[in-house]
Structure 1
Amino acid sequence: MAYDRYLAICYPLHYVTIINSKNCLYLVSFSWIFSFILMSSELIVIVQMEFCGSSVIDHYFCDIAEILQISTSYNTILMWDDFIVSLLSVFFPFLLIVASYNCIFFTILKISSMSGRKKAFSTCSSHLLVVCVYYGTLNSIYIVPSRDNSQNDNKFKSLIYIVLPPLINPIVYSLRNQDMLESIKKLMYKHVRAEKCCFLPRILDPP
């Protein structure tokens, strides 16, 4: 999406020729295959670990940190593997997103008309908001240091991470749809009108 917005704003004349069905299929296929390879590397290491004690994970899902706590194996390989996976799947994509939006913002600043700037910024505002929500919740779990006895806090943060971005995603992109906005306005107008109709007779009734 960051690459799509980058081409749409920085190279609008080349957008149609670059973002076609064939290239989109390549990008999606690369994302799926690359993610499968990264996750498979961690899975291979986890399968070889030993769990001699309790097998109960006090969490909503099998996070790497929780698996390391109940494992009795020497887990340096998994820690390094998880570090490399985090770099390739989180850190480097974040750098690419930041670099693309830097180019986008500099391109928007070069636009002379205010209406042109607002139109250009509106095309990437939805994706930028979703990215901020995703990386904000992600950083709150894996970057912000946790206190002692904060297992419940970690579970609450993880719950926000797995619920909030998928919940915000369709809402943010739906608000860009004009038909959706018109429907929301009509619904709010009917609600306000219904409240006024219910409230006025109470005022006009004699005590």
Structure 2
Amino acid sequence: MPRCRTALIAALFAALHTPLSLAQDLPQDDGQARCDAPRLRLDVRKEHAALRQLYWGHVNALLKDESFRTFSRALLERDPELADSLALHRAAHAEGRHFEPPRRLTGDNPAYPDHLIGRSSGEGMVLLHMLVSADGTVERIIHVDHPDLPVAQAFVDIAIQQIRTWTFSPTRIEGVAVASVVTQPLTFSSPYGYLPPGRTTPPEPAPPSWRNGNAADWGAPD
């Protein structure tokens, strides 16, 4: 991972998790400052939108970085149960056997925490490995905790709690259901963008900068 990108992602993450203040904290007796408050709020919204775009762009690049993917795979290889499941899938692919990947059947993506709306502008991605059993339930979850992908612990806790309730159609090899490993990125992007402190209901939501999607190629055998 290039050192400059590591520092940039950390800086963007820190900026997005700075408590929202600005115009709310202007002195009441400063008439000029109060007149400037609407302009300051507009400026900080633009700055926050730019920070969001930069942050998510670099996170997306990080997920495609080979050194990061090597780190993620190493977590699986160090776990005997997960490593055995991956080995079975790779062998099936190599032998040309009929392979049906898992599909999510039930379960919602975790929502942005209500208690953070209006208090923090924090956003972040949680990347999880999960072991899906032959009956389609989630047996185990491993958080891909990498220093180049900082994330608030509140997001990790909510993501793990929500994913435990998911169910899948299991992986099948030649029609036989087997356990499998699925890697799922989950994003926490505030639905309202920047909010002045204390305000929890904006006029209308800002368009999301990122959407939780399927695991894409993360869960596929290499």
Q: Normalising by the residue count of structure 1, what TM-score does the alignment of the two structures yield?
A: 0.27
Q: Which has the higher contact order (CA 8 A, sep 6+)?
A: 2
Q: Which has the higher strand share?
A: 2
Q: Normalising by the residue count of structure 2, what TM-score does the alignment of the two structures yield?
A: 0.26
Q: Which has the higher helix share?
A: 1
